[in-house]
Amino acid sequence: MSTFGTLFRVTTYGESHCASVGAIIDGCPPGMPLSDVDIQPQMTRRRPGQSALTTPRNEADAVQIQSGVEAGVTLGTPIGLMVKNKDQRPHDYTETDHYPRPSHADWTYLLKYGLKASSGGGRSSARETIGRVAAGTIAERYLKMAYGVEIVAFVSSVGKIHLPESATDDDLLSEDYLKLLSSITREQVDENPVRCPHEETADLMQERIIEAKSKADSIGGTVTCVIRRSPVGLGEPVFDKLEAKLAHAMLSIPATKGFEIGSGFKGTEFAGSVHNDAFIKKPDGKLGTKTNRSGGVQGGISNGEDIYFKIAFKSPATISQEQTTAKYSGEAGVLATRGRHDPCVVPRAVPIVEAMAALVIMDAVLIQNSRAFTASLLPPLETPLPPSMVIPNETQQEKIVDDIVAKGL
Amino acid sequence: MSTFGTLFRVTTYGESHCASVGAIIDGCPPGMPLSDVDIQPQMTRRRPGQSALTTPRNEADAVQIQSGVEAGVTLGTPIGLMVKNKDQRPHDYTETDHYPRPSHADWTYLLKYGLKASSGGGRSSARETIGRVAAGTIAERYLKMAYGVEIVAFVSSVGKIHLPESATDDDLLSEDYLKLLSSITREQVDENPVRCPHEETADLMQERIIEAKSKADSIGGTVTCVIRRSPVGLGEPVFDKLEAKLAHAMLSIPATKGFEIGSGFKGTEFAGSVHNDAFIKKPDGKLGTKTNRSGGVQGGISNGEDIYFKIAFKSPATISQEQTTAKYSGEAGVLATRGRHDPCVVPRAVPIVEAMAALVIMDAVLIQNSRAFTASLLPPLETPLPPSMVIPNETQQEKIVDDIVAKGL
Amino acid sequence: MSTFGTLFRVTTYGESHCASVGAIIDGCPPGMPLSDVDIQPQMTRRRPGQSALTTPRNEADAVQIQSGVEAGVTLGTPIGLMVKNKDQRPHDYTETDHYPRPSHADWTYLLKYGLKASSGGGRSSARETIGRVAAGTIAERYLKMAYGVEIVAFVSSVGKIHLPESATDDDLLSEDYLKLLSSITREQVDENPVRCPHEETADLMQERIIEAKSKADSIGGTVTCVIRRSPVGLGEPVFDKLEAKLAHAMLSIPATKGFEIGSGFKGTEFAGSVHNDAFIKKPDGKLGTKTNRSGGVQGGISNGEDIYFKIAFKSPATISQEQTTAKYSGEAGVLATRGRHDPCVVPRAVPIVEAMAALVIMDAVLIQNSRAFTASLLPPLETPLPPSMVIPNETQQEKIVDDIVAKGL
Amino acid sequence: MSTFGTLFRVTTYGESHCASVGAIIDGCPPGMPLSDVDIQPQMTRRRPGQSALTTPRNEADAVQIQSGVEAGVTLGTPIGLMVKNKDQRPHDYTETDHYPRPSHADWTYLLKYGLKASSGGGRSSARETIGRVAAGTIAERYLKMAYGVEIVAFVSSVGKIHLPESATDDDLLSEDYLKLLSSITREQVDENPVRCPHEETADLMQERIIEAKSKADSIGGTVTCVIRRSPVGLGEPVFDKLEAKLAHAMLSIPATKGFEIGSGFKGTEFAGSVHNDAFIKKPDGKLGTKTNRSGGVQGGISNGEDIYFKIAFKSPATISQEQTTAKYSGEAGVLATRGRHDPCVVPRAVPIVEAMAALVIMDAVLIQNSRAFTASLLPPLETPLPPSMVIPNETQQEKIVDDIVAKGL
């Protein structure tokens, strides 16, 4: 279905050439300042035509809030969002319509629905992500105002060009890289059009994208995202582990093929004695982990360390060069797709990844706040719990409860 | 929450030392032959104590069907499943209880709930997966009987030992590897205790695990899973893309850190012109793809090709060697965990991966069957659709509709 | 949350004075002819200003389909619907704002959200029902095209004026009344402005409403709804019994206070021997019930007989006469609400009841079609079931299976 | 599906003659004292064989907690509950198996599933309610401990014998009746076996039930339930209004045919000027309503007054006297059901109604606590809201916020 989330729910609608695309956001807390202009910056980062690296189509993508806000403040009721489609002309039927586009959704839409939008892409159009980015921006706004949460994504690879993450291929993530994760800002990310915060690498990436473009070809890449100052206790122990929800969210972005959290695939190559995150007392007196191979999540639940993960985006399926493929009829032929297309989607994917991350965290916050606050209303236990069930240090135990009640986790 | 799925719903309960673990499976089609013995084989593959490579604990794990089956046939009503816990003694409080175990859920459970099961693991215990495996086996049984679906997982790496997937590091997946995916059986997988169907690699993996064991250490790895003969049209275009649901399912398995489908992370390094899956007419006359970098899913929807994906499992957090870490109080110390632990979980993870895959596919089948069958009841359109919205080949179009109605996708 | 349904999901947004109200309908089958004009008739029946009996406000309420439809046919993707609000001025602050309006939502919105829309009503505004009526019309269109389902609601009482349902107060529903249920059409219902298909009663109701209006007062009433030619097998045995879903849907309409199905409250006064619906062979050779006190549902599941139920609507809370009540401050005072208000909502509630009924049936159809079709794909059982588990008449048993597969229940 | 609730979720399993019936309760707050004996009293009130008025079958119904509790305290993880079935013999096939029992679920189960449990009833068996009562008792325990919520149901009518609710038929609910609602206890309800707290009426009801029993017949009735000291702000403005959820819950109880809240169906006969609940300052200084025709809910949201509602239960379908009806084959015949059956279910329905009420309130509390607490973490607004959006009395406004944060609504 077209809905994401349990208590912070986003439902989107819209194809490429319909009247508008939009979303309904249900579950936004009341009393939060919000207007169109708060949503626009991420919308602008998402839209095409931002640089020579992306598609030259210029979509204004001006969001219009339809409901749920009055006097510049959220009411707690559903927020309707709409972005009008400029080009609502039905797609002209041409020679290319005889072909399902390779690695596109034309064919699977037909298999699923028995018919498809004439524009082919239908809901798999990148325009569908407009609603998500708008919704994610609202979620992020709350998280920032209430908890100071920071969510920053950046391009970590284009083709074979990778932002360096470790000293050698045989090492786990380097101190430098973790420092980058703990400090990187969106402003720094936007300093170059490829959105990679490592200047040298960014230049090489840019060259790689221009090379793809010049060959009427495309290239894939990865986006890394870090969530800082996340509340603790987010995620459920079993099916809805925080990393499972993040993976779900990220793999729901068009063109994604992989997700890894913390040390990810590479981490599997290291022994437990090397890989485990030992506990230490942090400067603020709280318990934390010395390293963070877990990526801020243990047993499916956030532990207060930076949450970071990486998403694989395949090379865009739409390329201008000729492709040998078959028609719907099975007859072999050569498909030449006209038009201008993104040679590489990762720079534009950055705000989409941030939006989906915000949606996951916000929904988890609402669920955990329900649990923590509801539990805090119970009277104290008459019989103390055995020490193996609580923290064998009363001061700290009380502190946790205080944190939960007073500050929301 | 502890529920997975929309129409085929699995809800599990149980910790390490409670009376029993179990599950309720809601949405199993009526009229399917089912008894305890059909579930047992995968339960047996999952349980510890199977070889020198796994933990020597011997858990019988005999499933007892409580409801939803009569005269050996499913009623369509919820199937209650129960496996009694042998060891229901409360955990003895010891020196180790002063420590949150590194990279374990002890600390995050406390942060989330304010208390934890004395055994520490609570719901993150591997015993929780019993309910999933049982449920997945039931789903798989239906999929096999109705569609001939085959789901096979195997160990694709242990530490740095990888089953070969491509000729060189610069190539995409090799023909040999894809042939393996298209033919591998569970019997072949079980031929060696490490469950890697490449004998040479399996031997090296076994050595690597024994090395970890001998050092009182642990090692991670990856599991690859292939779903063959999947119905087409599964998955939703936007948030519930089939790969998103698979990622969600796989990252909900304890100790997982990553997921990739098709060409995955490596595929991002290749140009679109190389990476795209061109269409061809298959020997059976149907349209298919020549290559399968997409991993059987395009635009979030299954296309009938093999669905394959890989999951990263970190090295087990519980190791017997001493670890320098902090107590709950923040005081530094040295933790020595007694007991016998899996040095490597991937061999035992194989049936769990298969079970979660079956749950995702079964749920998607129920949802897509609802759509396809309901749509098939509409009368024919009076005005034909423009050719750009349908397949410009009437015979094939009719065939698709026939397939949907007569054979269920 | 603002979503209704599992597979046919409606999400609405909008308050009284925001930019627009609207809805997203997710799960509409692809391939169904649909355009704005198909939705408009029920929208027009819902809107105010239709007669002297309703509020004189004239709202055009022109629906604009935003997405999910191309070439006049549904795509199977979410259908965005929007109706612009004419009056988007913020509410002027007046003396009346010191008062929570009696039996209105002003006070409970403040308790729930800590703030409220200046117009007071917020989401409890009757304008919210626009999205439901539009969505219900789409659901109903499918049900009519695929199954010939007919849904007709009418006003069955205004104040103490009741449409006669039984010969005496001591009887169960009369033959005449059941005949009315089995034949009544929307055209007949609309023959008088009060929407009661019993002319004599309608005249008295009209007088009663005019009396209320002349006294600057209001009056309540009931709406009865019948669903004819419903597919069988709809509804779930336990929590989501069909009557439970209908009750949920109906009690979600503003100003409702009660729901009863079949013989309802009065039926509780009769002995089982009188009340039970005996089975008979119907003229078409199928098994059916002789009477229909059950209201078309047994054990929570539709049996193919007419589904009928009644909903209680309280007298509108907004009245123009002075009311002695307290201010938010607790200070006693006299509230005089200006403006023109519906003295009685039941005539306008008719299309809303029909819409909610269609949403419930459509969602149940999608769920049951999933189950029935999926079950039909299983191979025949090798061992026949004991006769107590199936119909002891093979011909009929096969016929049921045929019906399920061929005609969708 | 067999699940109820969003954050406090109950999933049940079990038929009449399977191994056990049970439930999984997911979402119970951690840290609440709980053991089997806390659940047993309501189980005992529910079970048959309590008096001459109910079925003489004696079911011990001893609940066994399987998980989610350690050291007598809830862990916050799913609570598995199980009650073994004593009689697990398959049903013997007899002459009666040729007949679908009138007004029973035999026929609709066959229509839905294509087969049925040999015992006929399947999930519609009264034994299914065991899981609900156990779950409801846990919910109620929390509500009582955290908020002092009191939930009491009682029998308000048997056949035509009604507990008096108003002075004359033309009056709204009397002062005496409302006083009864505000003070009645379970102990008082249990003073007579019919569970009607009006002695005179109870005697007549008892006679009516014995009359039905002596005639091998059955009789229906109503149960009224009051929820006192409910938190405010519960329920959602649109589809999930509190009364809609209550109606859903109550109509999911077997044999129910109607639901009304507050003044209900009768209230529709009164003018708005008479029916509206004026506001007054209560003795505790808080705003409240003078009357309570709304039944504690306005605009779908609880306002802190007593929530009360009534449910219609039809006469039990199973009667021992002969019934003229048709066989599955369509052939007419006479059915004589052997065995001992409840002549009237309402006395035993009392704890089931209380349980379902507790489940609805508990789920709404978890949802509203999420919203209220999450909203409370936002920093104060820089620009104050217009007076029409907040309470024009700052002291009270602050008090509300204080209440929300400090006391949980």
Is B387 a member of any domain?
Answer: no
Q: Which of A71, A72, A370 sits opposite D370 (nearest CB)?
A: A370
pLDDT at B113 (0 to 100): 92
Q: Which residues does chain A have within 8 Å of residue C112's beta carbon, measured at their own beta carbons?
A: 76
Length of chain D: 409
**pLDDT computed for residue B116 by the predictor:** 87
The burial of C87, by beta-carbon neighbours within 10 Å (0-12 exposed, 13-18 middle, 19 or more buried), is given as exposed
Query: How many structural domains comprise chain B?
Result: 1
Q: Residue C147: is its pLDDT beyond 90?
A: yes
pLDDT band at residue B357, thresholds of 50, 70 and 90?
very high
For chains B and C, count residue pairs whose Cβ atoms are closer than 8 Å: 106
Per-residue pLDDT band for A405 (boundaries 50, 70, 90) equals: very low
Query: Between chains, do C252 and D275 touch, taking CB under 8 Å as contact?
Result: no
List beta partners, residue D84.
Answer: D20
Report the distance separating Cα C219 and Cα B347, nearest Å: 71
Q: What is the pLDDT of residue C407?
A: 44
**Tokens at residue A51, please?**
């640089």
Backbone angles phi, psi at C123, to 5 degrees: -70, -15
In tens, the pLDDT along A64-84 reads 999 999 999 999 999 999 999
- Rounded to a whole number, what is the distance in Å from the CA of D118 to chain B's nearest CA? 8
Q: A touches which chains (3+ CB pairs under 8 A)? A: B, C, D
Confidence of residue D409 (pLDDT cuts 50, 70, 90): very low
> Are A13 and C78 within 8 A, CB to CB?
yes
- The reply to whether B91 belongs to the active site is no
C260: CB partners within 8 A, 6+ apart:
C309, C310, D257, D258, D259, D260, D265, D312
β-strand A9-13 against A20-26: which pairing, if any?
Answer: antiparallel
Distance of alpha carbon A243 from alpha carbon A261, whole angstroms: 7
Confidence check: pLDDT of A290 > 70: yes
pLDDT (0 to 100) of residue C183 = 97
Has residue B376 been placed in a domain? no
Highest-confidence range of A56-60, C336-340, C390-394, by mean pLDDT?
C336-340
Where does residue C296 fall: left (phi above 0), alpha (psi -120 to 50 degrees), or beta otherwise? left
B38 catalytic residue (yes or no) = no
pLDDT of residue C92: 64
Q: Which residues of A touch D237 (CB under 8 A)?
A: 77
The arrangement of strands across the sheet holding C20-26 comes to C3-4, C9-13, C20-26, C79-84, C64-65
Averaged pLDDT of chain A:
90
Contact state of B385 with C73 under an 8 Å Cβ cutoff: yes
* Band of pLDDT at residue A250, cut at 50, 70 and 90: very high
Per-residue tokens: C137: 């019309």
Per cent of chain A over pLDDT 90 is 72
Helix, coil or strand: residue C224: strand
Q: Give the chain D residue whose CA is nearest to the CA of B18.
A: D67
Which one from C91, C104, C248, C275 is the annotated catalytic residue? Answer: C104
What per-residue confidence (pLDDT) applies to D6?
96
As a whole number, mean pLDDT of residues D244-263 equals 98
| pLDDT tens per residue, range D303-361 | 999 999 999 999 999 998 999 999 988 899 999 877 667 899 999 999 999 999 999 99
Cα B386 → chain centroid: 41
Best to test chain C binding among A66, A97, A119, A125 (most C CBs inside 10 Å): A66
Chain B residues with CB inside 8 Å of D73's CB? 115
Q: Which of A168-177, B8-17, C103-112, C235-244 is modeled with the greatest confidence?
A: C235-244
Higher pLDDT, B217 or A394: B217
Residue recorded with tokens 């919910």:
D139
Do strands C323-326 and A9-13 pair parallel, antiparallel, or not at all (unpaired)?
A: unpaired
Cβ contact A388–B299 (<8 Å): no
In the block, residue with structure tokens 């769920």: C367
Distance of alpha carbon C183 from the chain centroid:
19
Is pLDDT at D407 greater than 50 in this prediction?
no
C-alpha dihedral sign at C199, C201, C204, C206: negative
Q: Which of B83-92, B266-275, C60-69 has the lowest mean pLDDT?
A: B83-92
Would you state the pLDDT for residue A316? 95
Stretch D12-34: mean pLDDT: 92
Q: Per-residue pLDDT tens for C151-183?
A: 999 999 999 999 999 988 888 999 999 999 999
Task: Please check the confidence at residue A23 and state whether its pLDDT lies above 90.
Answer: yes
pLDDT average, residue stretch C68-86: 93
Name, of A3-12, C170-179, D98-107, the range with top average pLDDT.
A3-12
Confidence at residue B204, expressed as pLDDT on a 0 to 100 scale: 98
Inform me whether the pLDDT recorded for D53 exceeds 70: no
Average pLDDT, chain B: 90
Residues forming beta bridges with residue C221, ordered by sequence position: C158, C313
Asked whether residue B408 carries a pLDDT value surpassing 50, the answer given is: no
How far apart are the C-alpha atoms of C96 and C179, rounded to whole Å?
49
- Choose the closest CB to D281 out of C239, C326, C391: C326
Say whether D11 and B21 touch across the interface (CB within 8 A).
Answer: no
CA D99 to centroid of chain Cα atoms: 32
Integer CA distances (angstroms), C57 to C93, C119, D91, in order: 21, 16, 64
pLDDT at D397 over 90: no
D176: confidence class by pLDDT, cuts 50, 70, 90: very high
Report the alpha-carbon distance of residue D154 to residue D165 in Å, rounded: 13
Do residue C31 and residue B381 have CB atoms under 8 angstroms apart? yes
State residue D94's pLDDT score. Answer: 76
What residue type is assigned to position A128 of the chain? E
3-class state of residue B354 by DSSP: helix
pLDDT at C15: 84
Tally C-beta pairs within 8 A across A and C: 160
Please tell me the pTM assigned to this model.
Answer: 0.96
Is the pLDDT at B336 greater than 90, yes or no? no
Whether residue A16 contacts residue A83, with contact meaning beta carbons closer than 8 Å, is answered with no
Residue C66 has pLDDT above 60, yes or no: yes
Residues of D annotated catalytic, as ranges: 17, 104, 342
B290 phi/psi in degrees, rounded to 5: -70, -55
In the 8-state DSSP scheme, what is residue A82?
A: E
What does the pLDDT look like over A134-144, one tens digit per residue?
Answer: 999 999 999 99
Domain with C238 in it: 3-370
Asked if the model's pLDDT at residue A303 lies above 70, the reply is yes
Q: How far apart are CA D84 and CA A169, in angstroms?
A: 58
For B227, other C-beta atoms within 10 Å of its C-beta total: 28
Are B378 and C76 within 8 A, CB to CB? no
pLDDT over 70 at D88, yes or no? no
Q: What residues are paired with D280 via a beta bridge?
A: D288
Query: Residues B250-258: what's their mean pLDDT?
Result: 97
- Average pLDDT in the D146-160 region? 98
- Decide if C392 is inside a domain: no
If phi > 0 it is left, if psi is from -120 to 50 it is alpha, else beta; for residue C158 that is beta
Q: Is B289 helix (H, G, I), strand (E, B) or coil?
A: strand
Backbone angles phi, psi at D77, to 5 degrees: -95, 170
Cα A346 to Cα B268: distance, rounded to the nearest angstrom: 10
ipTM of the complex, rounded to two decimals: 0.95
| Confidence category of residue A52, pLDDT binned at 50, 70, 90 | low
Considering only A227-241, A287-301, B48-62, which range has the smallest mean pLDDT?
B48-62
Q: Is residue B375 part of a domain?
A: no
B152, B191 in Cβ contact below 8 A? no
C338 lies in some domain? yes
Q: Which residue has the higher pLDDT, A2 or D159?
A: D159
Which of C215, C298, C302, C373 should we substitute to test contact with D (largest number of D Cβ atoms within 10 Å)?
C298
Is the pLDDT assigned to residue B130 strictly greater than 60? yes
d(CA B393, CA C79): 28
In this predicted structure, the answer to whether residue C119 has a pLDDT above a threshold of 80 is no
C177 Cβ contact partners less than 8 Å away, ≥ 6 residues apart: C164, C165, C166
pLDDT number for residue C392: 58
pLDDT of residue C75 exceeding 70, the answer is yes
Calculate what percentage of chain D has a pLDDT beyond 90.
72
pLDDT, tens digit, 9 for 90 and up, residues B361-370: 999 999 999 9
Touching subunits of C (3+ CB pairs, under 8 Å) are A, B, D
Quote the pLDDT of residue B72: 94
Amino acid at site C226: V
Backbone angles phi, psi at A118, to 5 degrees: -60, -25
Residues in chain C within 8 Å Cβ distance of D330: 281, 285, 287, 396
Burial class of A293 by CB neighbour count within 10 A (0 to 12, 13 to 18, 19+): buried
CA distance D401 to A47: 40
Q: Measured between alpha carbons, how far is D277 from D284 in angstroms, rounded to an integer?
A: 19
Per-residue 3-state assignment (H helix, E strand, C coil) for chain D:
CCEECCCCEEEEECCCCCCEEEEEEECCCCCCECCHHHHHHHHHHHCCCCCCCCCCCCCCCCCEECCCEECCEECCCCEEEEEECCCCCCCCCCHHHHCCCCCCCHHHHHHHHCCCCCCCCHHHCHHHHHHHHHHHHHHHHHHHHHHCCEEEEEEEEECCEECCCCCCCCCCCCHHHHHHHHHCCHHHHCCCCCCCCCHHHHHHHHHHHHHHHHCCCCECEEEEEEEECCCCCCCCCCCCCHHHHHHHHHHCCCCEEEEEECCHHHHCCCEHHHHCCCEEECCCCCEEECCCCCCCEECCEECCCCEEEEEEECCCCCCCCCEEEECCCCCEEEECCCCCCCCCCHHHHHHHHHHHHHHHHHHHHHHHHHHHHHHHCCCCCCCCCCHHHCCCCHHHHHHHHHHHHHHCC
Task: Give the CATH number for residue C277.
Answer: 3.60.150.10
Residue D387 lies in a domain: no
Closest-CA distance, D80 to chain B, in angstroms, reads 6
Domain membership flag for residue C359:
yes
Tokens of D232: 């405010």
Q: Distance, in angstroms, between B71 CA and closest chain A CA?
A: 32
In this predicted structure, what is the pLDDT of residue C97?
Answer: 83
Report residue D91's pLDDT band, with 50, 70 and 90 as the boundaries.
low
B183-239 confidence digits (pLDDT tens): 999 999 999 999 999 999 999 999 999 999 999 999 999 999 999 999 999 999 999
Q: What is the 3-state secondary structure (H, E, C) of A318-347?
A: CCCCCEEEECCCCCEEEECCCCCCCCCCHH
Measured between alpha carbons, how far is B277 from B256 in angstroms, rounded to an integer?
Answer: 29
Tokens of B78: 């919820």
Check CB contact under 8 Å for D76 and B113: yes
CB contacts < 8 Å between C and D, how many? Answer: 458
- Tell me whether residue C387 is in a domain: no
pLDDT of residue D132: 93
